[in-house]
Amino acid sequence: MPITDLLRRNAQEHGDEVALVEINPEHAGQRRVTWKEYELIEPSNAPTYRREITWKAFDVHANRFANLLLQRGFGKGKKVAILLMNCLEWLPVYFGILKAGALAVPLNFRYTADEIKYCLQLAEVDALVFGPEFIGRIEELAESNDDLPALFYLNGTCPTFAESYFALTAAMPETDPMIPLTEQDNAAIYFSSGTTGFPKAILHNHESLSHSCKCEQNHHGQTHDDVFLCIPPLYHTGAKMHWFGSLLSCSKAVLLKGNKPQYILQAVSEEKCTIVWLLVPWAQDILGAIERGEVKLSDYQLDQWRLMHIGAQPVPQSLIKHWKQYFPHHAYDTNYGLSESIGPGCVHLGVENIHKVGAIGKAGYGWETKIVDENGQTVQRGQVGELCVKGPGVMTCYYNDPAATAATLKDGWLFTGDMAQEDEDGFIFLVDRKKDVIITGGENLYPVQIEDFLSTNEHIKDVAVIGLPDKRLGEIAAAIIELKPGHACTEEEINAFCMTLPRYKRPRRVIFAKVPRNPTGKIEKPVLRKMYGGDQLVEAQNLS
């Protein structure tokens, strides 16, 4: 079924129950807002600690936005981008787009103005919903006189170059437009990027989204009584597809705006959360805060917390052992996935297999896996090859990129670019990545982007950026810099030069050395990783 049918069902059968809660810990002690069944409350400048919405109000909000899009001609086949921080409106906006028959196009909130422009053009976006954090970036595009899509501003006072989302949707009918959809209709475009650094537009249909709901619930057993705490950004397939388990089970989810240990434990306690998805740094921060005495577990109501799953970057085995010392009753799980496979779950460890921590698991619900050599032939168990996955969640294609699609999709199999091997029990372990993407704190860094920037420095002859292990972030970006003969430069000068880069893209380590290249001119990054400690990533996993 189209995924929109699940929202309709929830609104009909459990309309008065809370669907979503937004918690802003920075505004503790401030007002709390409840959306009534037919009421849309525009965010005001007054600080709000907690906002909630029922399934009925969720559905009505989506209907109103869908009707606005249809009125403007943005119906079936059109693309509507979302550039918002996590907020109560994010998912109703997403489903409003789908209800109009259009394609939702989530954008990374870290994108620069140029990256936003590139993605809007690549996906042929017709309209964009954006929030107050992005006014400067969108205004920069508006002032460049580029051919921009329709702009809807979701907040209070609307900038002159956009239209007010709330003013427009408030005037729309709350009835469901009931646009006919099938599982094969296109539903969403997500962005990913390989070592080239240029995002690819990943096209998924409704079958992909619907299967991710089934996959998530099958793996984690969500029931109507569960409460899911969501902290990572919703533009990412991982966060949203984990939430899809809540959609299918019609259970409450909490969007937490902040990841400090106190914030997480307080939200779990206050909202009676039962399932929490963490990134490695957040889990490490919680453990560190406990050991330093900054938080006392006895101060919180945590007995109902049954499952902690973790991913989006390498997960140290020692972390899980440490975690179980403080939370022995927690079930633990991890999932492997890519945006091309609609996020987490195509490979799945399973809560019953904690003795296999270190593996990414076996084929997930409804999925198949195989490990192949360079000729596409399945390797023997124990041998290293490229991991391939097949299932209902595989992308339709890279939008408008047939060459990249053909290189990645072969006979229904998605070639992941990750090197893996299978042990004697059939569990899959990742041993390396063919792609050089660096995963730091759950975010992807693309070395070529950083290398291209550094190469503009007048002192630099050659540069290579690799990932090195980091206990907290999983990996950090290290720049190996070869200076021009007769030139001198310090690490401090390189750091100052990189200040114009977004903070998460700045190298955390600078090494002055010769950059090795092979006879064809390619940088020998495996050699660099071995020289500087990156070979410790052999046991790393590309998790989500």
**For the chain, what is the mean pLDDT?**
89
* Local confidence band at 517 (pLDDT 50, 70, 90 cut-offs): confident
Task: Considering only residues 433 and 3, tell me which one the structure prediction assigns the higher pLDDT.
Answer: 3
CATH number at residue 492: 3.30.300.30
Which among 37-46, 75-84, 463-472 has the top mean pLDDT?
A: 75-84
pLDDT at 269: 97
* Cβ atoms of residues 473 and 444 within 8 Å: no
The full length of the chain comes to 544
Give pairs for 406-415: CB < 8 Å, separation 24+: 408/340, 410/376, 413/370, 413/388, 413/389, 414/338, 414/340, 414/341, 414/388, 414/389, 414/390, 415/372, 415/386, 415/388
Helix %, strand %, coil % of the chain (to 5):
35, 30, 40
Give Cβ neighbours of residue 503 (< 8 Å, ≥ 6 apart): none
Q: Is residue 331 part of a domain?
A: no
pLDDT at 243: 95
pLDDT at 522: 60
- How many independent structural domains does the chain possess? 3
pLDDT at 313: 59
How many percent of the chain have pLDDT more than 90?
A: 66
pLDDT at 250: 97
How far lies 143's CA from each of 80, 158, 198, in Å?
21, 16, 24
* Local confidence band at 43 (pLDDT 50, 70, 90 cut-offs): low
Q: Is residue 27 part of a domain?
A: yes
Give Cβ neighbours of residue 177 (< 8 Å, ≥ 6 apart): 63, 66, 67, 70, 99, 100
pLDDT at 89: 94
Would the pLDDT of 348 be above 70? yes
Among 224, 258, 292, the domain-final residue is: 258
Question: What average pLDDT score do residues 293-303 get?
Answer: 96
Question: Are 403 and 495 members of one domain?
Answer: no
Would the pLDDT of 280 be above 50? yes
Question: What average pLDDT score do residues 168-187 get?
Answer: 96
Q: Is residue 495 part of a domain?
A: yes
CATH number at residue 374: 2.30.38.10
Q: Is residue 451 part of a domain?
A: yes
Tens-place pLDDT, residues 411-424 = 999 999 888 899 99
Tens-place pLDDT, residues 59-104 = 999 999 999 999 999 999 999 999 999 999 999 999 999 999 999 9
Would the pLDDT of 293 be above 50? yes
Among 225, 258, 291, the domain-final residue is: 258
Sort strands 335-338 and 343-348 into parallel, antiparallel or unpaired: antiparallel
Would the pLDDT of 433 be above 70? no
Question: What average pLDDT score do residues 229-233 get?
Answer: 93
How far lies 362's CA from each of 347, 394, 421, 426, in Å?
5, 17, 11, 7
369 lies in which domain range? 360-435
Indicate the pTM of the whole model. 0.83
Question: Are 402 and 451 members of one domain?
Answer: no
Tens-place pLDDT, residues 304-324 = 999 999 876 556 677 888 899
Three-class SS of residue 79? strand
Question: Are 74 and 120 members of one domain?
Answer: yes
Q: Is residue 267 part of a domain?
A: no
pLDDT at 452: 77
pLDDT at 46: 66
Question: Are 429 and 506 members of one domain?
Answer: no
Would the pLDDT of 33 be above 80? no
Question: Are 86 and 198 members of one domain?
Answer: yes
Among 196, 229, 258, the domain-final residue is: 258
Tens-place pLDDT, residues 232-265 = 899 988 888 999 999 999 999 999 999 999 999 9
Question: Are 35 and 157 members of one domain?
Answer: yes
Q: Is residue 349 part of a domain?
A: no
Question: Are 120 and 224 members of one domain?
Answer: yes
Would the pLDDT of 36 be above 80? no
Three-class SS of residue 74? coil
* Local confidence band at 181 (pLDDT 50, 70, 90 cut-offs): very high
Six-digit token pair at 540?
A: 């790393």
How far is 22 from 115, CA to CA, in rounded Å?
A: 28
Largest CA distance in the chain: 74
* Local confidence band at 440 (pLDDT 50, 70, 90 cut-offs): confident
Would the pLDDT of 134 be above 90? yes
Q: Is residue 345 part of a domain?
A: no
Question: Are 468 and 367 members of one domain?
Answer: no
Question: Are 486 and 380 members of one domain?
Answer: no
Question: Are 120 and 214 members of one domain?
Answer: yes
Other C-beta atoms within 10 Å of 425: how many?
Answer: 11
pLDDT at 519: 45
* Cβ atoms of residues 486 and 459 within 8 Å: no
Question: Are 409 and 430 members of one domain?
Answer: yes
Looking at this protein, which amino acid is placed at residue 102? A
Q: Is residue 78 part of a domain?
A: yes
How far is 114 from 118, CA to CA, in rounded Å?
A: 6
Q: Which of 189-203, 241-255, 291-305 has the lowest mean pLDDT?
A: 189-203
Six-digit token pair at 465?
A: 């950026």
CATH number at residue 227: 3.40.50.12780
Question: Are 391 and 496 members of one domain?
Answer: no
Tens-place pLDDT, residues 366-421 = 999 999 998 999 999 999 889 999 999 999 999 999 999 999 999 999 999 888 89
Question: What average pLDDT score do residues 425-434 get?
Answer: 80
